[in-house]
Structure 1
Amino acid sequence: MSGKDVAVVVLLVVGFAAFVTTHVWLAARLFRHESSRLRGVIALFCPPLAPIWGYRRGLRRGAALWVVSLLTYVVARVVAQFA
């Protein structure tokens, strides 16, 4: 396995782990708000809603991190497919 392959695997693992962690964190934060408990549960099972509702709730950094980690994972998947 070359150095490029190792870098792609590491990027895949880190990107996916960051995405899942951020997604669960956003859903949990939405659930903690009394007015949006149902939104927290729905966001957990419908991932695209988590950053949208998180951003509207004022969790802007978390929503941005969700998008960045997803993009990192997608780019790593594309690179892995063609490498």
Structure 2
Amino acid sequence: MKDIAATATLVLAFATWVTVHVALAARLILRSGPRWRGVVALVVPPLAPIYGFRQGWRRLSTLWIVCLILYVLALLVAQL
């Protein structure tokens, strides 16, 4: 049962993180000043929340960070 819960959490956290990452990068491309920031943020993931916070998108950027932390914790639990 522990393995199923750890695997489900791992998959859901990763899927949510990827979805939020793509949404944040797309929003940077479509709504912010220089469009190159969105393209760079798509390729270099840590830049996405940094640029997001600079644009004032605190909720989406915080969700990105929380999902990444949850994914890393689930990955550590799955390896035990």
> Where on the TM-score scale, by shorter chain, does this alignment land: which range?
over 0.9
Query: Which consecutive residues of structure 2, in runs of 5 or more, have no partner in the other structure?
Result: none
Q: Give identity over the alignment, percent.
A: 54
Structure 1, unaligned runs of 5 or more: none
Q: Note the C-alpha offset of 1:35.
A: 1.4
**Distance in 2 (alpha carbons) for counterparts of 1:14 and 1:63:** 18
Structure 1 segment 38-57 matched on structure 2, within 5 A: 38-57=36-55
Query: What is the TM-score when the length of structure 1 is the normalising length?
Result: 0.93
Flag the structure with larger Rg: 1
| Range moving further from structure 2, 27-36 or 61-70 | 27-36
CA distance in 1, matches of 2:2, 2:68: 21
Number of aligned positions between the proteins: 80
Residue pairs, 1:1-83, within 5 angstroms: 3-33=1-31, 35-82=33-80
Q: Distance in 2 between matches of 1:32 and 1:76?
A: 32
| SS of the residue 1:55 aligns to | helix
